[in-house]
Homo-oligomer: A and B are copies of this chain.
Amino acid sequence: MADWEQVSLRLRTRRPQADILIISLVNGPYNFLDRQCFDELNAIIAPLDIKTTRAVILTGGVKDIFVLHYNVDEIIDFGLSVPSWLPTPPFMLRAALRLESMIASLGLRFLVRKTLFAGVADLNLYKEVCNLFRSKPQVFIAAINGACFAGGCEFALACDYRVLIDTQTPVMGQIESLIGLIPGGGGTQFFSRTLGTAKALELCLEGKTLNSSEALELGLVNRVTPAEDLLPTAIEVAQRLARRSPYVIQAIKDSIHIGSSLTLSDGLLREQGWFGGAALMAETHEAMKKYARLIEEERPHTLDDFQDYLQPFANGTFFDFTPGSAKSATSTKTVKTD
């Protein structure tokens, strides 16, 4: 097993195989997320190339803690920096957030950080990193090794897949309401769009904490494993999904996250656009021809036949879209999402 490498102040990485990257956050006793973490995460994740990395596992490098929550001191500082006479209704703050996004897109965020709106830049940076999870062609897997509350919980929810240690202790939840905050990294949106509005309201208003079986039953995590199996399980998921076409990973993520937030008609069109592109790719062509040959040979007819016949699909071994496996030059083609 490869050793951990300290790649920046708060992040260690290792690669259990060449194209899978594990990022471990190590930040003091409580493993808080903070501005520095997101700068470092952004620096690693934004330039990730599908040719060299097909899956990313995010985990906590502190015992029993994934991310306790976002560093409260930074939020307190934001409160102190903005003078109390300044009117800040939500619509003004939304305008400020939009403006900061524009400034940041010009590469000038460092200027905002010198003003009293540094906290606005932090909120946007948090969102941008989570947007990377949704828009990159890699699969993002959270390996949740312990406490994962508030800003840590929504950070995990922004990933594509979540594996959580088996524990009776409450470890997940959007507990912000208890200290006069609300989720700010997307918690209300993920809860609503994953659990429906009624359950989302209850969990956020109560600030409810959940143990692993509650989180699994609600569907907030995909798998629960004994603590010692956490990384092996996450790696196994990564290996399986890394064999999928990166275009397909990207297309499914976009169709589900963005498409399902549009009108039905626009959502269907969005999916169709991705589907058409997939159908035109060289390695998909190859996989479809392999499939056509398989069905020709196997000639499945009964339900039992289908069980056998679909086995290579069920275990994900039917076709390997990793470069070098497929001969196609376009197998790492991905798209700039709009």
User: Which A residues are closer than 8 A to B by beta carbons?
Assistant: 29-30, 63-64, 72-73, 75-76, 78-80, 82, 84, 88-91, 93-94, 96-98, 119-120, 123-124, 127, 139, 146-147, 149, 157, 160-161, 167, 169-171, 175-184, 186-202, 204-209, 219-220, 222, 240-241, 244-245, 247-249, 251-253, 255-265, 267-285, 287-292, 295, 299, 301-304, 306-307, 310, 313-314, 316, 318-319, 321, 335-338
Q: Which of B96, B157, B205 contacts A249 (CB 8 A)?
A: B205
- Which A-B residue pairs are the 6 nearest by beta carbons? A184-B275, A180-B284, A192-B260, A90-B273, A188-B255, A93-B276
Q: Which residues of B contact A273 (CB under 8 A)?
A: 90-91, 93-94, 97
Q: Which residues of B contact A306 (CB under 8 A)?
A: 64, 146-147, 169-171
CA distance A2 to B137 in the complex (A): 53
Identify the interface centre among A64, A98, A180, A201: most chain B CB within 10 Å of its CB: A180
Flag if B206 contacts A241 (CB, 8 Å).
yes
Flag if B64 contacts A303 (CB, 8 Å).
yes
Which partner residue on chain B sits nearest A254 by CB separation? B90
Q: Which residues of B contact A204 (CB under 8 A)?
A: 252, 256
CA distance A117 to B290 in the complex (A): 24
Flag if B338 contacts A91 (CB, 8 Å).
yes
Q: Which of B82, B177, B261 contacts A267 (CB 8 A)?
A: B261
Flag if B272 contacts A123 (CB, 8 Å).
yes
Q: What is the total number of copies of this protein in its complex?
A: 3
Which partner residue on chain B sits nearest A78 by CB separation? B279
Q: Which of B30, B264, B278, B321 contacts A295 (CB 8 A)?
A: B30
Q: Which of B76, B264, B279 contacts A289 (CB 8 A)?
A: B76
User: Would you give 27 A-B contacts (Cβ < 8 Å), ordered by A?
Assistant: A64-B301, A76-B288, A79-B281, A84-B280, A88-B277, A94-B269, A149-B310, A157-B198, A176-B248, A177-B244, A178-B319, A180-B248, A180-B278, A182-B274, A182-B278, A183-B271, A186-B271, A188-B260, A188-B271, A193-B196, A197-B256, A197-B260, A202-B222, A206-B241, A207-B316, A209-B310, A257-B264
Flag if B259 contacts A262 (CB, 8 Å).
no
Flag if B256 contacts A200 (CB, 8 Å).
yes
Which partner residue on chain B sits nearest A130 by CB separation? B268
Give, as a whole number of angstroms, the nearest-CB distance from A151 to chain B. 10
Q: Which residues of B contact A180 (CB under 8 A)?
A: 244-245, 247-248, 278, 281, 283-284, 287-288, 319, 321
Identify the interface centre among A30, A179, A267: most chain B CB within 10 Å of its CB: A179
Flag if B89 contacts A189 (CB, 8 Å).
no
Q: Which residues of B contact A157 (CB under 8 A)?
A: 198
